[in-house]
Structure 1
Amino acid sequence: MEINNVTKMTPKSGGVKMIITIIVALLAGLLIFQSVTIIQAGHRGVVLQLGAVQPQVFDEGLHFKIPFAQTVIPMEVRVQKSESSQTSASRDLQTVATTIAVNHHLDANNVNKLYQEVGMDYTARIVDPAIAEALKAVTAQYTAEELISKRPEVSTKVKELLKEKLSAYHILLDEINIREFKFSEEFDRSIEAKQIAEQQALKSKLDLERIKIEKEQEITKAQAQAEALRLQKQEVTPELIQLRQIEAQLEAIRRWDGKLPNVTGGAMPFINVDKQ
């Protein structure tokens, strides 16, 4: 009877062992799974140990962590783009609607501090308000016309101020691009009228300069002609007159065809060769 009882209990014992083995294997697998983490490219891992942020930051790749005690929060450190439209006032109290695009990225070595101080919603909490504040502070220093004519200078000042504000929260500014300044319709019409007036004034000025130059040219030309006549009068001598007469007679002889004219009374094309 005792032998039969032992034989009957053996299958149950084997089943229990199998269940225990499966449970142990599952626990071991879970333990291994909880002991490793993989950080993807362009990210860093913020380590939380029982809810507390740790000073260690995981780089890209495979890392080991304390199972069940540590949690890793991935944070992207690649360049991100924030684009928004902000309304502000210029120095001459014109309403300015500005469309701006901002490229920024997280400081890879301090993502744990950003997570601890701000959290994951840093764009809405930090980036967007900083953009609005920087734009309002800079546009208030310029008139509406200066915002257009000094756009590169305005962009540089916005970039410097925004860089300072974001760096305080471990966010690094890469570049900004002010896409558009938009003003009220009344201001646009006044700018257009002013440009037309300036163009007309410039045209009138150029016309006056052209007339002045043409007048000066005419005066210079007349003076040159008068001077030429004066010099010619000074150079006329009896010898020059006699030379011109001889040249005229020689030209008449050259053109004479050898026939005497039918009607006389004019000067004959002959040179008085006897006169020495």
Structure 2
Amino acid sequence: MIKKSDGETPMIQSNVSNVLGTVLGSAKQYALAIVLILVALIAGCGSFFSVGPGVVGVTFNSITGNTAAYSQGMYLKIPIVTSVVKFDVKTQREDIQADSASKDLQKVKVHVAINYHLDYKRVNELYVKVGNDYTEKVIHPAVNESVKASVAQFPVEEIIVKREDVKILIEKSLKDRLAIYNIILESVNLVNISFDDEFNKVVEQKQIEEQKIKTAEYIKKQAEQKKQATILEAEGEARKQELLRATISKDTVMMKWIDKWDGKLPTYMMGDKTMMMVPGDNK
């Protein structure tokens, strides 16, 4: 059996400690290197941003508070300090149900569909004023206010008849309201206009009564026309007889008689030269 001296044990322990220290030191260096590489990658990726077609990117510098708008392309930015918010500047559609009241205080519901787009040159101003939730903050309230102000100028019975006039007023009012926020209105469509159930019943009853009146007027008109036709026919017949009497002469009567004569001579002659036609036996 080999025995180790007491002086060898501390030496072995010291060597093991050196080896472990070297390994741990290398591991820490590798870990630090990996962390640095990841940070560099993240920072490198965060230094670029891209903007697609039909989109505007708005940058905000958290230190200076400045904003800028960028169109389609690839751009550099300061990581962490600069943030990017993207806005769609293509034509967009928004459908809104707006409650309003007519001039005579009848409830009117209007389904409005609008087409609009953002002014791509001034999107950063919209971001500063409103943010990126402009639909709820700006468009919906503007549509509701425009519908209320426009519908209130018409009695309820004229709203359907003058639908185009209502639309023009809404469009003009809405265009002015949205322009303040650099939102450009393209068109307004009134998809549907509806009224209270009670008013619908009144309108329906009125239409029934009007139809009855129109039917009665039509029957009366037909009777008048028939009466007029009968009068004209009678007058025409009377005029015909009058003209016929005015044109009849003895010669005309003779010609009519000759046309109807069968070619046989009369059997007897009266003394006053009046002919009496009596058929003979011709035996």
Contact 1:88 1:96 in 2 (8 A): yes
Contact 1:103 1:173 in 2 (8 A): yes
Partner residue in 1 for 2:11:
none
Judging changes above 3 Å, is the alpha-carbon distance between structure 1 residues 203 and 53 closer, same or farther for their aligned structure 2 residues? farther
Partner residue in 2 for 1:197:
209
Give RMSD over aligned pairs. Answer: 3.0
Judging changes above 3 Å, is the alpha-carbon distance between structure 1 residues 269 and 78 closer, same or farther for their aligned structure 2 residues? farther
Judging changes above 3 Å, is the alpha-carbon distance between structure 1 residues 269 and 196 closer, same or farther for their aligned structure 2 residues? farther
Number of residue pairs aligned between Structure 1 and Structure 2? 253
Is 2:239 the counterpart of 1:210?
no
CA distance in 2, matches of 1:53, 1:72: 13
Partner residue in 2 for 1:100:
112
CA distance in 2, matches of 1:53, 1:182: 48
Q: Which residues in structure 2 correspond to 1:136-155 (within 5 Å)? A: 136-155=148-167
TM normalised by structure 2 equals 0.77
Q: CA deviation at 1:16?
A: 8.2
Partner residue in 2 for 1:45:
57
CA distance in 2, matches of 1:112, 1:189: 51
Contact 2:60 2:67 in 1 (8 A): no
Judging changes above 3 Å, is the alpha-carbon distance between structure 1 residues 20 and 188 closer, same or farther for their aligned structure 2 residues? closer
Partner residue in 2 for 1:71:
83
CA distance in 2, matches of 1:164, 1:21: 59
Q: Which runs of 5+ in 2 are unaligned?
A: 1-18, 265-276
CA distance in 2, matches of 1:43, 1:15: 47
Q: Which residues in structure 2 correspond to 1:117-128 (within 5 Å)? A: 117-128=129-140
Judging changes above 3 Å, is the alpha-carbon distance between structure 1 residues 53 and 45 closer, same or farther for their aligned structure 2 residues? farther
Which letter does structure 1 place at the counterpart of 2:150? V
Partner residue in 2 for 1:161:
173
Partner residue in 2 for 1:172:
184
Is 2:245 the counterpart of 1:237?
no
Secondary structure of the corresponding residue to residue 90 of structure 2:
coil
Deviation readout 1:119-146 (Å, 9 max, x if unpaired): 1221111111111111110111011111
Q: Which range moves more in the overlay, 120-129 or 18-27?
A: 18-27
Contact 1:101 1:179 in 2 (8 A): yes
TM normalised by structure 1 equals 0.79
Which letter does structure 2 place at the counterpart of 1:96? V
CA distance in 2, matches of 1:177, 1:107: 21
Contact 1:46 1:54 in 2 (8 A): no
Secondary structure of the corresponding residue to residue 169 of structure 1:
coil
Which letter does structure 1 place at the counterpart of 2:251? E
Q: Which runs of 5+ in 1 are unaligned?
A: 1-7, 257-264, 271-276
Contact 1:53 1:116 in 2 (8 A): no
Which letter does structure 2 place at the counterpart of 1:105? H
Partner residue in 1 for 2:232:
220
Q: CA deviation at 1:269?
A: 11
Judging changes above 3 Å, is the alpha-carbon distance between structure 1 residues 15 and 193 closer, same or farther for their aligned structure 2 residues? closer
Which letter does structure 2 place at the counterpart of 1:154? V
CA distance in 1, matches of 2:240, 2:227: 20
Judging changes above 3 Å, is the alpha-carbon distance between structure 1 residues 15 and 185 closer, same or farther for their aligned structure 2 residues? closer
Q: CA deviation at 1:158?
A: 0.9
Judging changes above 3 Å, is the alpha-carbon distance between structure 1 residues 11 and 55 closer, same or farther for their aligned structure 2 residues? closer
CA distance in 1, matches of 2:64, 2:144: 33
Is 2:76 the counterpart of 1:61?
no
Secondary structure of the corresponding residue to residue 124 of structure 1:
helix
Partner residue in 1 for 2:273:
none
Q: CA deviation at 1:164?
A: 1.1
Contact 1:53 1:112 in 2 (8 A): no
Rg larger for: 2
Deviation readout 1:40-64 (Å, 9 max, x if unpaired): 3332100112355545311123222
